[in-house]
Chain A
Amino acid sequence: MRTCIVWIAGCLVVPLTTTLAMANGWNMPVGVTDVSREIHSLHMTIFWICVVIGVLVFGVMFYSLFRFRHSKGVKASHFHEHTLVEVIWTAIPLLILVGMAVPATATLKKMYDPADADLDVMIIGQQWRWRYEYLGEDVAFTSNLGTPRETVRGEGERGEHYLREVDEPLVLPVDRKVRFLMTSDDVIHSWWVPDLAVKQDTIPGFVNENWVRINEPGVYRGQCAELCGIDHGFMPIVVHAMEEEAFDEWLAERKEAAAQEASGVDREWGLEELMARGEESYNAVCASCHQPDGGGNAPAFPALAGNQALMEERERHVETVINGVSGAAMPAFRNTLSPVEIAAVITYERNAWGNETGDVIQPSDIAERLAD
């Protein structure tokens, strides 16, 4: 008896939790694209189908548990087969599923149609950051975790967007069809923003397609969804959706800035400014493996501070940063960082943490090497 009461109480939990499930932050977001809305409605449809079937099946089950208790002296009947009933309960789920497959197919076909895009954006997954390239616009940048590492370790206040903030968000226009071309430089990542209903694996050596047409301006956050190594949990995605004019303005500004950065390659740089620039890039790109203090994380990620081989072999150091180490965790940065950034990082690594080699690597030298 007591058992039954607890079971019935369990039954009450189901409607309670479903009500809660409708509450904000507990359910799949409706999102801001037509596709995301369709997906949300598919999700809710199949959810309610499950709830109805569940109530029926569990209803009969708990009724039986309550009504046909041995302790009440009920005698078991002896039926154990009934062809008609079996046919019915096989056929009905089959029909429900066919009914569900039709709208699902329609939505999927929409998702698979990236044709006639107004803008192409290349999304490149890298351990552990995203690189965005606006194809045909000469604008490209990497987007790193914005939350300071110390905050993760418990120093300072965790802000509202803890772990879901970046140094540079992906900026997109609303009301234009944007096609994403997605690939990776190292392992498989997956670019996911729930509000846009885009989740697509980025696979080294292959290019995947997806697309989005955002209906409302706003800031939409997501993160990498496929395990990609140590910092899988620390490669967020922030999409800043702007009105079309604002976006065009932003793009023009970025183009100009890119042109200026390119011209910076040609001038002579001093140790001080390279060190400052290098520290910035090092902390954004290198520190997750080699640690902010250059201590590394042996054996996969060697220490840089006090590394004799590094200090003695300047040429190999430059080569390693540009082309990576084949077959090891060290990626090639030739396409990820600008010549100025590469020169700055190498200069920083050769002079920080007591590595006082005094070497200054000029961006122009790096640019020359990259051109080869």
Chain B
Amino acid sequence: MAPKLPLHHPVEQSSTANAGGQAAAHPAPRYGIKRWLLTTNHKEIGSLYLIFSLTMFFIGGTFAMVVRAELFQPGLQLVEPEFFNQMTTMHGLIMVFGAIMPSFVGLANWMIPLQIGAPDMALPRLNNFSFWLLPVAFTLLLSTLLMPGGGPNFGWTFYAPLSTTYAPPSTTFFILSLHIAGISSILGAINIIATVLNLRAPGMRMMDMPLFCWTWLITAFLLIAVMPVLAGAVTMMLMDINFGTSFFNAAGGGDPVLFQHLFWFFGHPEVYIMILPAFGIVSAIIPTFSRKRLFGYASMVYATGAIAILSFMVWAHHMFTVGMPLTAELFFMYTTMLIAVPTGVKVFNWVATMFRGSISFEPPMLFALAFVVQFTIGGFSGLMLAISPADFQYHDTYFVVAHFHYVLVPGALFAILAAAYYWLPKWTGHYPNLRLAQWHFWLSVIGVNLTFFPMHFAGLAGMPRRIPDYALQFADFNLASSLGGFLFGASQLLFVWLIIKCVRGGEKAPAKAWEGAEDLEWSVPSPAPLHTFEHPPTFRHESK
């Protein structure tokens, strides 16, 4: 399904460019596969990212379905424990690195230039390169499933020495694929920073930017800071496996816990990399459909910055049970509790934006509202997990699984879906089918809560994560989770159908597709022509 972007933008739709100047500025359009392989256009690359992440979402989702099917009832029915471990691992890796992160980059590619009035990303060729690294990385990663000994089976956190001394032979390929995906992320982040800092429309100050640009700017700095740490950690693994070093091998004088420190120094900011852009999206959608300006714009920016800085100081709260000294436990408990404050401020601001607004419930708003509620539930369980003594009971159980899925599925993923519904009129020129979108929303909400809410109970009752079979007292929770999982998985097919319909036709959308939408992207026609803002728009200051 190739999105139907206009090859040449029709002259009558272009508000800014003149046809003569254009022929000189742009090379002759390419057709077919070459168009997509060689494109340097931010909209085409954005679409590629989005289609790629949707594909990965369904591959990772299929793995999750295998996991849920095996856990449907006690006993081993469908798969061997060895394959089960590969499924849980690949589900995590694909969803984190292949679905959530690239979809945010795709949204950034499409929307940041439109929101700041730039003609394209600052570094278009780099942009092409950073996208095309991804299919390479993930083809490599998925191919490990077909190798002798199977693919990665040590969890997406790949703790040493399970992932080094005791790992399957394919681990070296897994490391290489993470390297490639990491390079792609870093290049994408550099591009976004360069774009946001340099290509804003004349007169647009930093504090005039839509919050999506702000959150992505901060996310990009996080990416640049932590991806090299991940690269370092996996390189040390590579050396341990292939070159006889002993970074993580206690028998050779190494330290397995060092791996966890390195991983979570990357991993915790990574968690915020997956949620900060979602904050930006929701901060665009809620004001639009409340017909009221975002409450506390400045404090939202500050809170994002605070979360980003604090995210570097909390990593060891993932390691409360590894036997750290008491002082370290206390330090990480305190910093983790602190991080709840700026996160709370965000939620309060969204609610205050809705208060005394004029609210309507179009599909993007539905998903954004569900995001606020369910992300907050995930935040609450996060607060509980921060209490170090209690974490000794929660750690590595389904309570943790419930927590991070609440943050990532009805959190980050719902924000991505909200963004898709919000900007589909801009991308395709058509409104998405309302009835279909409502079905998609309600089935997703029911499915996601049926899947993940019972996991809280299973975890508290004592079910550890990553087990292929379980004691009988967990059977009911798992039955509910599996049914919910199948419902949620199936209802995402509606979304694909809806996108195909929306690309092909539907109610025509005007330039300003939503009544309350204010940002710059709504000043260009719908669908957005291939080249926009070739002459910078005049940015009108609002009284801030």
Contacts and interface: CB of A to CB of B under 8 A. Distances in A.
Interface of A: 3, 6-7, 10, 17, 21, 25-29, 35, 38-39, 42-43, 46-47, 49-50, 53-54, 57-58, 60-61, 64-65, 68-71, 74-82, 85-86, 89-90, 93-94, 97, 100-101, 104-105, 107-109, 111-112, 127, 151-154, 158, 160-164, 186-188, 190, 192, 194, 197-201, 203-206, 208-209, 221-234, 297-300, 327, 329
A3 B471 CA distance: 40
Interface string B448-473: 00000100110011101111111111
A162 B471 contact: yes
A4 to B, nearest CB: 8
A133 B232 CA distance: 38
Interface string B273-299: 000000000000000001111111111
A70 B359 contact: yes
Given A43-B384, A68-B355, A80-B294, A162 B74 contact: yes
Given A64-B357, A97-B340, A43 B323 contact: no
Contact of B292 (A80, A86, A108, A187): A80
Contacts of B341: 90, 93-94, 97
A347 B106 CA distance: 62
Interface stretch (B161-169, B416-424, B498-506): B161-169
Nearest to B149: A299
A54 B293 CA distance: 24
Q: Which 10 A-B pairs have the closest CB atoms?
A: A205-B250, A233-B467, A208-B323, A50-B380, A70-B360, A76-B358, A225-B396, A80-B293, A107-B389, A76-B292
Contacts of B471: 161-164, 221, 223
Given A188-B161, A227-B85, 4 more contacts: A74-B357, A80-B296, A205-B254, A225-B464
A90 B464 CA distance: 35
Contact of A60 (B76, B326, B351, B392): B351
Contacts of B81: 230-234
Contact of B373 (A27, A61, A75): A61
Nearest to B150: A300
B179 interface: no
A206 B255 CA distance: 9
A3 B155 CA distance: 40
A199 to B, nearest CB: 5
Contact of B457 (A21, A111, A329): A21
B75 A154 contact: yes
Contact of B321 (A42, A201, A329): A201
A222 B472 contact: no
Nearest to B345: A90
Contacts of B534: none
**Most chain A CB neighbours (cut-off 10 Å) among B74, B384, B387, B469:** B387
A190 B467 contact: no
A208 B320 CA distance: 12
A188 B256 contact: yes
Nearest to A162: B472
Contact of A61 (B251, B294, B351): B351
B354 interface: yes
Given A68-B359, A70-B358, A154-B77, A78 B388 contact: no
Nearest to A155: B75
Nearest to A189: B162
A233 B76 CA distance: 11
Contact of B354 (A27, A64, A100): A64
A198 to B, nearest CB: 8
A22 to B, nearest CB: 11
B257 interface: yes
A65 B369 contact: yes
Nearest to B343: A93
B397 to A, nearest CB: 7
Contacts of A198: 392
Query: Which range contains the number of B residues in contact with the other chain?
Result: 35 or more
Contacts of B377: 54
A65 to B, nearest CB: 6
B75 A158 contact: yes
B180 interface: no
Contacts of A300: 149, 168
A78 B75 contact: no
A230 B82 contact: yes
Given A57-B347, A70-B291, A108-B330, A64 B356 contact: yes
14 contacts: A50-B384, A58-B373, A64-B351, A76-B290, A104-B388, A108-B326, A153-B76, A163-B470, A201-B321, A227-B154, A230-B85, A232-B81, A232-B467, A298-B148
Nearest to B389: A107
Contact of A104 (B358, B369, B389): B389
B24 interface: no
Contact of A203 (B75, B322, B353): B322
A78 B292 contact: yes
A21 B402 CA distance: 15
B62 interface: no
Interface stretch (B14-22, B133-141, B331-339): B331-339
Contacts of B323: 200-201, 203, 206, 208-209
Contacts of B142: none
Contacts of B334: 101
A81 B464 CA distance: 45
Contacts of A54: 376-377, 380
Contact of B251 (A38, A70, A204): A204
A300 B377 CA distance: 42
Given A57-B351, A152-B76, A162-B471, A80 B359 contact: no
Nearest to B168: A300
A128 B382 CA distance: 31
A111 B250 CA distance: 26
B321 A61 contact: no
A162 B472 CA distance: 7
B337 A97 contact: yes
A209 B323 CA distance: 7
Contacts of A153: 75-76
Interface string B362-373: 000010010011
A204 B256 contact: yes
B166 A229 contact: yes
Given A76-B292, A97-B338, A208-B323, A46 B75 contact: no
Nearest to B77: A154
Interface in B383-397: 383-384, 387-390, 392-393, 395-397
Interface in B90-123: none
A121 to B, nearest CB: 16
Nearest to B399: A28
A42 B355 contact: no
